[in-house]
């Protein structure tokens, strides 16, 4: 019913507009086309400057409404991200000045130089001086932006500091798997044909001794406040993207081609809850590359901890090797039960994601 009502209203508005438009054509014939054209010209000239004023007010009002909802007021949660923010402010200043200046000139000229019988058009076809001025000034501004940008770019994409920890991130439809190298600080090799959802979600080659102390977790990644972390990013199926908007970082997860990304978290999750005054605050990993029908639900969480909390967390987690081979786990008395126990959380997590 509402649909019909809305359609009826829309049609009615159309008919009214059409009648007015038609009538205006007849009126212009009666009044003389030239006279009514000039009148319309005045109205539109006035609207040009009205649009400028309302538009600039709108820009200001939009900022009032939504600035607080962006990430800018809370600042970057990573040390490197601060450079993104400072660059962003500088770029905003440069482009903002140009934006306001050119829009004012555009609509003001449109208003000021609207048709008038008194004005004689100024025949002005070219001026090399002017062309040179508005080539060189933008060129200088851009050079500054490029230099700053590239310095940051090489920092972001360069080698992380030596003390950085390493986490391997793997995207899959539709979730994230994280692997930590364990005590030996090295990952065991993996091969995608070994992947088995129940016991080997990454396809780890167990013959490689380095893999035996690797820790594998899903959905939540644990990082340490103040400690640089290097992510080695990959994907099991299609292209995903590790989107870390709080840290101002992002990198694609491409099947077959590992990529890397590093940053230094500045605040623990608990600190961020206080800082943002949001008790539900989470560092979320958003998949930023279209990856299928549940793309919008491919969420991971980063929990930034203090070193002690982190160490405790890692110590309490069993190496993934023992999930695959429970009988080799020295702590396990009854191997048969543990298979189910260990597999269940993984399954549950997968199911939860599928539901989302």
Residues 232-271 that bind other proteins (CB under 8 A): 233, 236-239, 241, 243, 245-246, 248-252, 254-260
Give dist(CA 307, CA 309) in Å, integer. Answer: 6
Using the minimum distance from each CB to other proteins, give the nearer residue, 227 or 250.
250
Q: Is 295 in the site for other proteins (CB under 8 A)?
A: yes
Rounded to a whole number of angstroms, the minimum distance from the CB of residue 260 to other proteins is 8
Q: Which two tokens stand for residue 49?
A: 């400057």
Half-sphere exposure of 348 (CA within 13 A, CB side): 7
The SS3 of residue 218 is strand
- Residues within window 111-140 making contact with other proteins, judged by CB under 8 A: 113-116, 119-127, 130-131, 134-135, 138-139
Using the minimum distance from each CB to other proteins, give the nearer residue, 35 or 142.
142
Give dist(CA 82, CA 75) in Å, integer. Answer: 7
Among 49, 56, 79, 84, binds other proteins (CB under 8 A): 84
**8 A C-beta contact, residue 209 and residue 184:** no
Among 56, 195, 210, 314, binds other proteins (CB under 8 A): 195
Rounded to a whole number of angstroms, the minimum distance from the CB of residue 157 to other proteins is 4
Q: Is 103 in the site for other proteins (CB under 8 A)?
A: yes
Among 8, 35, 53, 106, binds other proteins (CB under 8 A): 106
Using the minimum distance from each CB to other proteins, give the nearer residue, 246 or 266.
246
Instruction: Name, in order, each residue with C-beta under 8 angstroms of 300's C-beta and a sequence gap of 6 or more.
Output: 175, 176, 219, 220, 221, 242, 284, 285
Give dist(CA 312, CA 81) in Å, integer. Answer: 28
DSSP track, 68-110: GGSSTTT--SBTTHHHHHHHHHHHHHHHHHHHHHHHHHHHHHH
Rounded to a whole number of angstroms, the minimum distance from the CB of residue 179 to other proteins is 15
Among 5, 30, 193, 207, binds other proteins (CB under 8 A): 193
- Residues within window 42-71 making contact with other proteins, judged by CB under 8 A: 44-45, 47-48, 51, 55, 58-59, 62-63, 65-67, 69-71
Using the minimum distance from each CB to other proteins, give the nearer residue, 60 or 185.
60
- Residues within window 328-347 making contact with other proteins, judged by CB under 8 A: none
**8 A C-beta contact, residue 134 and residue 86:** no
Using the minimum distance from each CB to other proteins, give the nearer residue, 263 or 326.
263
Using the minimum distance from each CB to other proteins, give the nearer residue, 13 or 183.
13
- Residues within window 138-177 making contact with other proteins, judged by CB under 8 A: 138-139, 142, 145-146, 148-150, 152-154, 156-158, 172-173
The SS3 of residue 265 is strand
Rounded to a whole number of angstroms, the minimum distance from the CB of residue 108 to other proteins is 9
Using the minimum distance from each CB to other proteins, give the nearer residue, 120 or 334.
120
Pick from 144, 163, 306, 123: nearest CA to 222: 306
DSSP letter (8 states) at residue 280: T
Handedness of CA 325, 311, 300, 155 (dihedral sign): negative
Using the minimum distance from each CB to other proteins, give the nearer residue, 121 or 315.
121
Give dist(CA 204, CA 236) in Å, integer. Answer: 12
The SS3 of residue 334 is coil
- Residues within window 12-31 making contact with other proteins, judged by CB under 8 A: 14, 17-18, 20-22, 24-25
- Rounded to 5°, the CA angle 286-305-212 comes to 85
For residues 277, 279, 356 and 267, what is the CA-based torsion angle, rounded to 10 degrees? 70
Using the minimum distance from each CB to other proteins, give the nearer residue, 92 or 183.
92
Q: Which stretch binds other proteins (CB under 8 A): 214-222, 285-293, 311-319, 334-342?
A: 285-293
Among 189, 299, 313, 318, binds other proteins (CB under 8 A): 299
């Amino acid at each position: 019913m509402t649909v019909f009502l809305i359609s009826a209203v829309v049609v009615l508005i159309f008919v009214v507009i059409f009648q007015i438009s038609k009538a205006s054509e007849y009126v212009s014939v009666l009044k003389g086309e030239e006279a009514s054209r000039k009148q319309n010209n005045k109205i539109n000239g006035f609207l040009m400057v009205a649009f400028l004023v309302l538009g600039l007010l709108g820009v200001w009002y939009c900022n009032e409404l939504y600035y607080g909802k962006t990430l800018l007021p809370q600042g970057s949660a990573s040390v490197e991200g601060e450079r993104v923010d400072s660059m962003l402010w500088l770029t905003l200043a440069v482009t903002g000045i140009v934006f306001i200046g050119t829009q004012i000139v555009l609509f003001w000229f449109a208003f000021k130089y609207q048709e008038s019988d008194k004005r004689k058009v100024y025949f002005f076809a070219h001026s090399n001086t002017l062309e040179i001025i508005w080539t060189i000034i933008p060129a200088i501004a851009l050079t500054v932006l490029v230099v700053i940008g590239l310095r940051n770019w090489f920092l972001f994409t360069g080698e992380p500091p030596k003390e950085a920890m390493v986490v391997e991130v793997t995207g899959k439809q539709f979730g994230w798997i994280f692997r930590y190298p364990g005590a030996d600080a090295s990952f065991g090799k993996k091969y995608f044909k070994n992947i088995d959802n129940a016991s080997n979600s990454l396809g780890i080659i167990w013959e490689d001794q380095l893999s035996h102390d690797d820790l594998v977790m899903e959905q939540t990644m644990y990082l340490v406040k103040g400690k640089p972390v290097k992510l080695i990013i990959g994907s099991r199926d299609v292209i995903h993207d590790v989107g870390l908007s709080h840290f101002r970082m992002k990198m694609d997860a491409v099947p077959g081609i590992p990529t890397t990304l590093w940053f230094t978290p500045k605040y623990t999750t608990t600190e961020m809850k206080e800082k943002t005054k949001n008790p539900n605050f989470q560092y979320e990993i958003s998949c930023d590359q279209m990856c299928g029908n549940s793309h919008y639900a491919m969420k991971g969480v980063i929990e930034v901890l203090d070193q002690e909390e982190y160490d405790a967390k890692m110590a309490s987690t069993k190496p993934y090797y023992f999930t695959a081979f429970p009988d080799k786990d020295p702590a396990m008395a009854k191997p048969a039960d543990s298979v189910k126990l260990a597999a269940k959380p993984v399954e549950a997590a997968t199911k939860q994601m599928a539901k989302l």
